[in-house]
Amino acid sequence: MRDREKARKRAHELVKRMTLEEKASQLRYDAPSIPRLGVPAYNWWNEGLHGVARAGTATSFPQAIGIAASFDTELVKEMGRVTAVEGRAKYNSSSAQGDRDIYKGLTFWSPNVNIFRDPRWGRGHETYGEDPFLTAELGKAYVTGMQGDGEYMTAAACAKHFAVHSGPEALRHKFDARVSRKDLYETYLPAFEALVKEAGVEAVMGAYNRTNGEPCCGSKTLIQDILRGEWRFQGHFVSDCWAIRDFHENHMVTDTAEESAAMALKNGCDVNCGNTYLHLLKACQDGLVTEEEITEAAERLFTTRFLLGLFDDTEYDSIGFDKLECEEHLEKAALAAAESVVLLKNNGVLPLDRKKLKAIGVIGPNADSRRALIGNYHGTSSRYITVLEGIQDYVAGESRVYYSEGCHLFQDRVESLAWRQDRISEAVNVALNSDVVILCLGLDETLEGEEGDTGNSYASGDKTDLQLPLVQRELAEAVMKTGKPVIAVNMTGSAMDLSYFQEHADAVIQAWYPGARGGQVIARILFGDISPSGKLPVTFYNSADELPAFEDYSMKGRTYRYFTGSPLYPFGYGLTYGDVSVESVECNGVLFRNAASGKGNSPEAVVIPQNDIRIPEAVSVTVTVTNRSSVATDDVIQIYVKALDTPYAPPNPRLCAFSRIRLGGGESRKVTMLIPGDAFTMISDTGEKITDSRRFLLSAGLGQPDERTCELTGKENISFLLEGAENF
């Protein structure tokens, strides 16, 4: 295992040989070389959200929100490992050529573990969804996979953006996210805490906005009190890019660049992504910071570099160029794409039988779009396979494939001199001449994404509502009127209003941004080679009108834990081609059966846990699941908990355990799952973790224990009461 104390001592010995100017220079993201000490230049800025990004050719995984839909921690861990290995391959080959440019280091500014609290946020597809528990579990897996468990880190991960950050993008440089202590500790901080305390994440990045008045990249509360104080974080802290400049230009909490640099450094920000730390020497000269504070930051940064083995011979030095997009890594990306796709509706039209189809219509602006495959913060693939190409390849020589773009992604015509909706008649003709239509709609990173990186200038990457662009809605209506069977494939990184398709389409698929070759996997799902098995990591609402104001950071009325209405598609929901059910649950020696089998126990039956401890470390639950169909499929067992004796519990049950399983046709399996002790604690109004409930309703199923999930799936969860001793 890695020896941080040894690395820290080496960093101390190296840094004490540096001049003040040299130490200050190392706090820039583009740290220059110090030839006299044998210190090469190093650029701290690299990206690896879903594969190595912005540095040329690399394996392209589905966007993070799609990965979250897999509910597969082992898969996410593998994605982290693949990204680190390919990052090492690039670092080794680039540095051998003397190339130490941006995006070629080993410090990856991923994962993004912000909570996707509002579907209008453009950057939400960079996250693992709306649930703190799911986000924490997947984030820990990514960090563990990326950093490895060897003597040196394979690569360094970074938890971002700390904290309370989820839009609006247009206001982020001056926005103050006001949040209660309860929401802070119950929703916005748990994933960060888990990555720090349980996964040992090496870096944390601050957010652009203020939180309760303090700029996040210079917040005493967030960095000093919570991160380094409460959680004992030992790694380094990096600003978001040019965020420190916002202190004096937008947040107006300082007057000068020197004051901004001093505020950030004194509160624990070690690396400045931007140029404000160019003013550190002047700040030191003016007495705003001390040389000791500069030294401390430099030592933390060199500790990371020593932990990466950048001054030693390591086991990773032999990782070669051949690891980039190698067969093993491409197979992992394909598996990730397969597990990410969520089947939202199916009236029996899927899977398609190609032997019965003479002609297939593929229509829509995302049908042959490479941009719709990749999401943002992406690498470059040596090959892209769109949905159209995937279908063409799959049925080659057997069925005719007709194609029409149908409409522009959002503009009112494809050709500038043509009439409005100049492709819609072609689309209708494609539908009329086809036995079935695959209608590929949605967005891409030009419409939803980060402020400054999108073509959506009017909303800076956010959405103003949950509707698809008008031209796409008009296209959908025209195609539906033909009366042909229609399978709607929505390619977005966020929840949309798909109520029209739920009512009118024969099947609805949420494909997210499935990676560079995702079209091949989607084709295999459409034709039944793969059963869809993804689950929604976010709630799909009927309309944005159901939500509080975007700028309101209170959790009331948001996400499945606090939303009191009936969603279009609930968090945790997703269909398969199989017929999987939870048959029984055993907890503490008591067996509960599915009431539908005629052998059901009352959900009020009581299980008494060990009563000599206040909070159990974990509660073991054994779930029996059966696939009653002949179709092999994956599915995801989900367990939810609801505290019954406390005013501090969210209004709805919350996810507390999950497990992805594979079942053959007709197969039954027992799966033992552990519910962590934290599931039985609450967060008070003052942000304290408390235990003030003795009774908990637990529910095991393949989705939430809510009415809408039951309505969509026709299946009920098995619920039972867990009751503790008096001081449980």
Give the pairing of strands 668-676 and 436-442: unpaired
Which of these, 187, 194, 65, lies nearest to 141 by C-alpha position?
Answer: 194
Alpha helices in 97-217 (DSSP H): 132-147, 181-183, 190-197
d(CA 119, CA 28): 34
d(CA 19, CA 613): 55
d(CA 79, CA 60): 10
Rounded alpha-carbon distances, angstroms, from residue 495 to 63, 122, 472, 584: 14, 11, 16, 32
d(CA 529, CA 354): 12
Q: Which residues contact 685 (CB under 8 A, 6 or more apart)?
A: 180, 181, 182, 648
DSSP 548-587: --TT----TT-HHHH--S--SB-TT--B-SS-EEEEEEEE
Q: Strand 618-627's sheet: what is its strand order?
A: 590-593, 580-587, 618-627, 668-676
Backbone angles phi, psi at 217, to 5 degrees: -85, 5
Backbone angles phi, psi at 442, to 5 degrees: 130, -150
Residue of 72, 131, 183, 240 with catalytic role: 240
Sign of CA dihedral 722, 723, 725, 728: positive
Backbone angles phi, psi at 336, to 5 degrees: -60, -45
Are 203 and 106 a contacting pair, CB within 8 Å?
A: no
Q: Which residues contact 497 (CB under 8 A, 6 or more apart)?
A: 465, 466, 467, 468, 540, 541, 542, 543, 544, 568
List b or e across 26-58, with b for residues whose CB sees 16 or more CB atoms inside 10 angstroms: bbbbbbeebeeeebeebbbbbbbbbbbbbbebb
d(CA 709, CA 704): 6
DSSP 255-306: SSHHHHHHHHHHTT--BBSSSGGGGHHHHHHTTSS-HHHHHHHHHHHHHHHH
Residue at 639: amino acid letter: I
Q: Is 240 an active-site residue? A: yes
CA 311 to chain centre: 33
d(CA 633, CA 343): 13
**Chain position carrying tokens 């300082």:** 254
Q: Strand 654-663's sheet: what is its strand order?
A: 606-607, 718-723, 695-701, 633-643, 654-663
d(CA 575, CA 535): 8
Are 674 and 572 a contacting pair, CB within 8 Å?
A: no
**Chain position carrying tokens 């200038």:** 457
Rounded alpha-carbon distances, angstroms, from residue 521 to 66, 282, 334, 386, 444: 13, 56, 7, 10, 19
Backbone angles phi, psi at 258, to 5 degrees: -60, -45
Which of these, 211, 241, 240, 209, lies nearest to 225 by C-alpha position?
Answer: 211
List b or e across 330-360, with b for residues whose CB sees 16 or more CB atoms inside 10 angstroms: bebbbbbbbbbbbbbbbeeebbbebeebeeb
Q: Which residues contact 143 (CB under 8 A, 6 or more apart)?
A: 80, 111, 157, 159, 195, 199, 200, 201
Which of these, 264, 273, 271, 185, lies nearest to 236 by C-alpha position?
Answer: 271
Residue at 674: amino acid letter: L
Annotated catalytic residues are: 240
